[in-house]
């Protein structure tokens, strides 16, 4: 079998139902791939949906615990394909040849164990949702180097050759959500293997994002970054404090979106990320007050940084960031 499609899910019956409707439209022979729907917790409706599917190779599995990495790891154990494609349950294929393109990409790069794409946003997005997609795209752009090689892949749009797991390498089950795949991708590279980001494997990602979930995603990604640094899982350097690249974000923002609002959401995402990064350590020291101390510590740091870098330069940066015209 050439391909195993692994789809972790957590109480997302309607999303899986829509995804299973799209799979028969793929022009890949049905016997060449399998679909593994891996639910974190027992979901009788989802189990029945998979059982009653007209597709031959659709299987339901249950982890019994919450966590996207636990679902991925169970999918690895049950998979039979030479290539494992991991996608989120709210992703959709951009064309009928998508699964075939995944196989072709791995054949083109036989020495590359991990290959993925970007998220393609739906046609209509709120400013908040656009900021989320833009942040993801900027992060991937900063990870690229020569010949479409990359340091990072998005977990909801990534594929790996089966031999990537032959040595017992697995996704960290202790990471439930938030940058859950980054840890694995770094460990894979530290083993001497490479990753590639290919435009042909971009995947449509449907998102219904609230401001609370937006902050939660950023916070958990910050927690994950601190955990990796504490465990020494990084490619030669620790996570460094960064500012959003306002010029690059500015150029990437279509006219229908107000840049100042998109920029504000990117700024808020970065703050929430940093609070999560601090929280990982604070929780070990003072669990009852960890979140409060993390928030106060981050805002105190940002306030004092104004004086460390000079008031004038900080004010000039803030002015350019919030009020810079697209004409400039």
Q: Which CATH number characterizes residue 92's domain?
A: 3.90.550.10
At residue 327, the pLDDT reads 45
Residue 52 sits in the same domain as residue 167: yes
At residue 315, the pLDDT reads 62
Instruction: Please list the helix, strand and coil fractions of the chain in percent, rounded to the nearest 5, in that order.
Output: 50, 15, 35
Q: Which two tokens stand for residue 145?
A: 């180097």
Residue 99 sits in the same domain as residue 178: yes
Residue 180 sits in the same domain as residue 129: no
Q: What is the pLDDT of residues 245-258, one digit of tens each?
A: 656 666 777 778 88
Q: Taking the model in full, what pTM does it have? A: 0.85
Residue 185 sits in the same domain as residue 259: no
Residue 107 sits in the same domain as residue 245: no
Residue 83 sits in the same domain as residue 218: no
Residue 140 sits in the same domain as residue 63: no
Residue 221 sits in the same domain as residue 326: yes
8 A C-beta contact, residue 31 and residue 99: no
Q: What is the pLDDT of residues 32-56, one digit of tens each?
A: 999 999 998 888 888 998 888 877 7
- Exposure of 261 in the CB half-sphere (CA atoms within 13 A): 10
Indicate the number of domains in the chain.
2
At residue 287, the pLDDT reads 87
Q: Could you tell me which of 250, 322, 264, 266 has the C-alpha nearest to residue 135? A: 266
Render the burial of 271-282: b for 16+ CB within 10 Å, e for the rest.
bbbbbbbbbbbb
At residue 308, the pLDDT reads 62
CA dihedral 176, 182, 187, 188 (to 10 degrees): 120
Residue 36 sits in the same domain as residue 74: yes
Of the three residues 167, 184, 207, the one that is the final residue of a domain is 207
Q: At 158, which helix (H) or strand (E)?
A: strand 157-161
- pLDDT < 50 positions in the chain: 238-242, 325-328
Q: Could you tell me which of 232, 238, 91 has the C-alpha nearest to residue 155? A: 91
Residue 143 Cα distances to 68, 100, 150, 251, 260, angstroms: 23, 26, 5, 18, 25
- Rounded Cα distance, 326 and 127, in Å: 17
To which residue do tokens 């999560």 refer?
Answer: 276
Of the three residues 207, 234, 250, the one that is the final residue of a domain is 207
At residue 272, the pLDDT reads 94
8 A C-beta contact, residue 74 and residue 44: no
To which residue do tokens 């659709």 refer?
Answer: 58
At residue 305, the pLDDT reads 72
- Rounded Cα distance, 16 and 9, in Å: 8
Domain residues for the domain of 79 are 1-117+153-207
Residue 57 Cα distances to 53, 54, 81, 125, 213, angstroms: 9, 9, 11, 34, 34
At residue 102, the pLDDT reads 96
Rg for the chain, CA atoms, rounded: 21
8 A C-beta contact, residue 249 and residue 262: yes
8 A C-beta contact, residue 2 and residue 32: yes
At residue 153, the pLDDT reads 93
Query: How do 114-116 and 3-9 pair as beta strands?
Result: unpaired
Residue 41 sits in the same domain as residue 130: no
């Amino acid at each position: 079998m050439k391909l195993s499609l692994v789809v972790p899910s957590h109480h997302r019956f309607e999303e899986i139902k829509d995804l299973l409707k799209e799979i028969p439209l793929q022009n890949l022979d049905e016997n060449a791939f399998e679909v593994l729907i891996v639910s974190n917790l027992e979901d009788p409706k989802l189990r029945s949906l998979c059982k009653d599917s007209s597709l031959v190779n659709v299987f339901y599995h249950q982890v019994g615990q919450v966590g996207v990495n636990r679902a991925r790891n169970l999918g690895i154990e049950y998979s039979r394909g030479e290539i494992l494609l991991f996608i989120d349950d709210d992703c959709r294929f951009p064309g009928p040849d998508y699964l075939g393109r995944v196989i072709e990409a791995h054949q083109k790069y036989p020495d590359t164990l991990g290959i993925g794409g970007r998220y393609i946003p739906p046609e209509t997005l709120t400013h908040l949702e656009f900021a989320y997609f833009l942040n993801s795209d900027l992060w991937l752009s900063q990870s690229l180097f020569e010949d479409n090689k990359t340091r990072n892949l998005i977990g909801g749009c990534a594929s790996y050759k089966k031999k990537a797991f032959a040595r017992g390498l697995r996704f960290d089950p202790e990471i439930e959500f938030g940058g859950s795949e980054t840890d694995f991708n770094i460990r894979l590279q530290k083993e001497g293997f490479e990753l590639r980001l290919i435009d042909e494997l971009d995947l449509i990602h449907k998102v219904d994002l609230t401001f609370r979930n937006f902050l939660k995603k950023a916070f958990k990604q910050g927690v994950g970054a601190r955990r990796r640094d504490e465990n020494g899982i990084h490619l030669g350097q620790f996570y460094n404090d960064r500012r959003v690249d306002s010029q690059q974000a500015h150029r990437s923002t279509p006219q229908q979106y107000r840049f100042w609002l998109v920029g504000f959401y990117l700024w808020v995402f970065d703050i929430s990320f940093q609070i999560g990064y601090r929280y990982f350590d604070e929780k070990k020291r003072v669990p009852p007050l960890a979140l409060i101390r993390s928030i106060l510590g981050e805002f105190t740091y940002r306030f004092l940084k104004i004086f460390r870098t000079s008031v004038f330069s900080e004010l000039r940066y803030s002015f350019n960031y919030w009020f810079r015209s697209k004409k400039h």
